[in-house]
Structure 1
Amino acid sequence: MNESFPSFSIGGARRAVRAGLAAAFVALALPGAMSLAHAEKADQNKPINVEADNLTYDDLKQVTVATGNVVITKGTILIKGDRVEVRQDPQGYQYATATMAPGSKKHASFRQKREGLDEYIDGDAERIDYDGKQDLTTLTRNATVRRLQGLTTVSDTVHGSVITYDGQRDFYTAKGGNDVAAPGNPTGRVRAMLSPKNGGPAPLNGASATLAPSNSIQEPNP
């Protein structure tokens, strides 16, 4: 039986999901916060398109599950994962969760163009959640977010356990955790590389900046 689901478009059986998968990366939740441009505003009114190996839709629960090389686009927004679940509440707000298969060495990913600029916000994590009601995007476990110039050059990088974007306030926060602990960062603190406004960003395929572990930074003499 063919279900009528106007939100998706996947070939003959695919239909466009009309959701608010939008996020903003506009201010750092750190001392000396840096102002960034808004995310692409036109994305808010674009339909969601889903491509996947398999798709199921539960009309009663208003839940759609796509699995197998899932690609979601909404305007300039691009989300990829092994499994993406889209839910709709009674008020029409939609929520999406993207994950990878257990044991996968790859991460779910997110990307969106910035308004009026040839720049993109690009991120990946083991799990990505979007809350269309509050306009929040949350990257969880081994999360990394980059600000790219033209998809090829990294301007800023933030790495942490959980990174959350608040599209309503144009603000984001990053938290540390055990999942990002490493020999040079045993307590799993947040790491960030922030380029000055007129500084020289690094190529996307270049080596990551080396940050001194916190326990090796000496306090100044009184």
Structure 2
Amino acid sequence: MRLVKTLPFLLSLSAALGSASAWALPTDRDQPIHIQSDDAQIDDKQGVATYKGNVIITQGTLKITGNTVTITRAPNGDVDVFTAVGNLAYYEQKPQVDKPIVQAWGVTIQYFAPQNRIVLIDKAKVINDGNTSEGEKIVYDTVKQVVNAGRGNGSKITAPRPRIDMVIQPKNKPADQKAN
């Protein structure tokens, strides 16, 4: 009986996730959404779904994991925010066919679907094409592939990091430029 009541929410969630992930590989949005968890609580009226217990959400190359993942929808039914909490929560996605998977970790990961922005809070780390960024808080634009890292002001930080730590890999030069 509960499935019948939540089926409209799940169907609208699937449609919304498909449109919200347009920034990823073109085929990601056409893939089904898979959610695995030990427990699920869905409030269709409020547009909130909370999954608990080793949560794994996948759609194409998108993967979000955490101890708890909450998905909220905007009034129009589109996915607004994914919030994953864990020790550590994890995000990955392949931005383009010819690019490697981008990986990110944090105690809290918030993915703002309409803005194509991920906010990592506490023990935050992003690995993008061999480059790493670590700090208390990282904001990552998934379209522009831009990282802004800094202090987690106003956030509860379990592992304070007064400084940002980044590693930027050298660009590979074509063979004819290496010989000069």
* Superposition TM-score, scaled by structure 1 size: 0.64
Superposed counterparts of 1:76-87, under 5 Å: 76-87=61-72
Letter in 1 for 2:167: M
Q: Specify which of 74, 79, 96 is matched with residue 89 of structure 1.
A: 74
Give distance in 2, aligned partners of 1:117 and 1:42: 14
**Which has more helix, going by share of residues?**
2
Corresponding residue of 1:17: 14
How far did 1:8 drift?
4.1
Change (3 A) 1:23 1:176: farther
How far did 1:159 drift?
0.2
Contact 2:136–2:160 (CA<8 Å) still a contact in 1?
no
Corresponding residue of 1:147: 128
Give distance in 1, aligned partners of 2:30 and 2:146: 21
Give distance in 2, aligned partners of 1:74 and 1:6: 19
Q: Specify which of 83, 108, 120 is matched with residue 127 of structure 1.
A: 108
Contact 1:55–1:67 (CA<8 Å) still a contact in 2?
yes
Contact 1:80–1:110 (CA<8 Å) still a contact in 2?
yes
Secondary structure, aligned partner of 1:138: strand
Q: Show structure 2 runs of 5+ residues with no match.
A: 174-180
Q: Specify which of 172, 175, 180 is matched with residue 198 of structure 1.
A: 172
Superposed counterparts of 1:6-45, under 5 Å: 6=8, 8=10, 17-18=14-15, 19=17, 22=21, 39-45=24-30
Give distance in 2, aligned partners of 1:130 and 1:23: 14
Q: Deviations over 1:58-81 (max 9, x none)?
A: 111111111001000011011110
How far did 1:41 drift?
3.4
Letter in 2 for 1:5: L
Q: Deviations over 1:63-118 (max 9, x none)?
A: 11110010000110111101000111112221210002xxxxx3000111131226
Give distance in 2, aligned partners of 1:7 and 1:135: 22
* Superposition TM-score, scaled by structure 2 size: 0.78
Give distance in 1, aligned partners of 2:38 and 2:89: 16
**Which has more strand, going by share of residues?**
2
Corresponding residue of 1:56: 41
Q: Specify which of 142, 149, 156 is matched with residue 131 of structure 2.
A: 156
Corresponding residue of 1:171: 146
Q: Show structure 1 runs of 5+ residues with no match.
A: 10-14, 25-38, 101-105, 149-154, 183-187, 200-222
Contact 2:68–2:84 (CA<8 Å) still a contact in 1?
yes
Contact 1:181–1:189 (CA<8 Å) still a contact in 2?
no
Change (3 A) 1:135 1:115: same
Letter in 2 for 1:122: Q
Give distance in 2, aligned partners of 1:140 and 1:81: 13
Higher relative contact order (CA 8 A, sep 6+): 1
Give distance in 2, aligned partners of 1:64 and 1:92: 13
Contact 1:77–1:111 (CA<8 Å) still a contact in 2?
yes
Change (3 A) 1:58 1:181: closer
CA-based RMSD of the aligned residues comes to: 2.7
